[in-house]
Chains A and B, each alone.
Chain A
Amino acid sequence: MDLTLISQGAEGKIYTCTFLGKKSIKKERISRSYRQKSLDTKLRERRLIQESRNLVKIRKEGVPVPGLYFVDTITCSLYMEFITPSISLKNFFIQNPSIPQSLLSDFANQIGKSVALMHNVQCIHGDLTTSNMLLKPQVSLATEILNDFSPADYLVNPCMVYFIDFGLSYGSSTPEDMAVDLHVLEKAISSAHPQLEKIFIEILAAYKIHKRKADSVLTKLEQVRMRGRKRLAFG
């Protein structure tokens, strides 16, 4: 198969490939030599299943996620839709020093809504960072344009925010788990993009509109934050 490595993340290798004639993504959870074999196998298998199950579940709710094509339990690989052209939200933020407020609000709304839709069906993403969100232009563009889409082009074309990387996702209905999910996102933004910290407020506003019983989650979020601030860290 025509595998081209495009990213080596924390858990696995991401390749582009052709699957049944279609340009696709292969995500392979490689065995990691630093951990014991039995633990390694368990983690890889568990995450493969969680990721594939929740990709399917979340797509039904209308959250933009890559379509799942095939699960290979032998090599712990997923084949899925190639979101292209796309840029991770993280790289978009880093490579565009000034982003119009209206665009930030648009992304915040989409993110808040999508997280709410996931939580409404008891799916906790588990790793909400700006690396795990991809921007993809909504409009269908001519192939020549698509092929050399630059970071700045995402500023002028309306984009959809896709969610990826469901390996740490799990099912839960508790406000606590949902609050922690939001807190992970909040910290990911404030540590990697401190100048954009305020976008989280808008994310929460959108979350509140779309999440059922949002109040209990937001109250919990306040407690989770306090815990972080109060936690002793010394030694």
Chain B
Amino acid sequence: MVFLALGIEGSANKIGVGIVNGDGEILANPRRTHIAPPGSGFLPKETADHHRAHILDLISEALSQAQVTLSNISLICYTKGPGMALPLSVGALVARTLSQLYNIPIIGVNHCVGHIEMGRLVTKAENPTILYVSGGNSQVIAYNESRYRIFGETLDIAVGNCLDRFARIINISNDPAPGYNIEQLAKQGKNLIELPYVVKGMDVSFSGMLTFIESIAKNHSQEDLCFSLQETAFAMLVETAERAMAHCNSNEVLIVGGVGCNLRLQEMVKDMLKDRNGKLHAMDDRYCIDNGAMIAYTGMLQYQHGDRMELIDCTFTQRFRTDEVLVTWRS
């Protein structure tokens, strides 16, 4: 009988269900996105409502795409954290219920580790320096002694959060995603506006840049603002990634997380790597963006290496650092 893991991800504004087999093949990976109206961010309650409305359909959809039934599933995986509490609770609740109803073992997964493992699976990167850039996260990570160690991170807000809030300030649409719209507008930008550039060792800070942009926004075109924000914020990220690479003697970079879809960011990392004879492993949109398969796959790795969870431990948590997870499946 083939091993089949079903994963549920719902830590932010996307709800996804993925099914992965024991060889790491992705059999299904549907998702839905909650899109907030322009000028506002996604709120916990509305997002949780959205997830609740879609999760059962998504599970049926995933099962039928994979041509299996719940009784074929060997393991239920869900995102334990980090993320927004209410949306997380939806995934955790459904996972626990399925586990009880069908008597299937259950595993909680760290969302960030999920992104990393999915990235390694899809790109076949062995031991890359990881640039993790998303709505809630900006970290430079490398594996060392059984943990994904955080070498650098944002000291205040995440780069994705910076982009989202900037989009709200200058009223850019959230559909399909604020970051995507910024990327398109930035292509027409020509003048680089000088913005605060804050790099401290391998750490970065974006809040000063956002406050500054807010104060000058009315004097510039949307295009130039988008262009300048991207060029400056991404240069900071690329620089810290390179610092971490030099520090770890690493020669490859894996970009994960939603902001990793940004082609300009990918291009900048590629340029940086060209000077170092390094290699970029970029994810395509299907896996960069939060999805269920990454949770299923990572949960399966944990399970196959002896990780077990009792129902009582199947909680969720807003704060769950990447380096808290003992990585038993790599050595």
Binding site for B on A (CB under 8 A): 8-10, 30, 32-36, 38-39, 42-43, 90, 126-129, 131, 168, 180, 184, 187-188, 190-192, 194-195, 227-235
Residues of chain A within 8 A (CB-CB) of B135 are 234-235
Contact A168 B153 (CB under 8 A): no
Listed A/B pairs (20) with beta-carbon separation below 8 Å: A9-B246, A10-B246, A30-B275, A32-B272, A34-B235, A39-B192, A39-B235, A127-B200, A129-B202, A129-B247, A168-B199, A188-B202, A191-B323, A192-B144, A192-B248, A231-B154, A233-B82, A233-B139, A234-B318, A235-B158
B interface residue count range (under 10 / 10 to 19 / 20 to 34 / 35 or more)? 35 or more
Residues of chain B within 8 A (CB-CB) of A234 are 11-12, 81-84, 111-112, 134-137, 318
Residues of chain A within 8 A (CB-CB) of B322 are 233
Residues of chain A within 8 A (CB-CB) of B84 are 234
Q: A227 vs B248: C-alpha distance in the bound complex, in angstroms?
A: 26
Known: A188-B247, A235-B257. 16 other contacts (CB 8 A): A9-B243, A10-B239, A10-B243, A34-B272, A39-B192, A39-B232, A126-B200, A126-B201, A129-B202, A188-B201, A229-B319, A233-B321, A234-B134, A234-B136, A234-B318, A235-B135
Q: A42 vs B195: C-alpha distance in the bound complex, in angstroms?
A: 12
Contact A35 B268 (CB under 8 A): yes
Contact B271 A33 (CB under 8 A): yes
> Shortest CB–CB separation between residue A175 and chain B, in angstroms?
15
Contact A35 B136 (CB under 8 A): no
CB < 8 Å neighbour of B112 from A90, A187, A233: A233
Contact A235 B290 (CB under 8 A): yes
Residues of chain A within 8 A (CB-CB) of B231 are 35-36, 39
Q: A128 vs B203: C-alpha distance in the bound complex, in angstroms?
A: 12
B245 at the interface (CB under 8 A from A): yes
Q: A229 vs B150: C-alpha distance in the bound complex, in angstroms?
A: 12
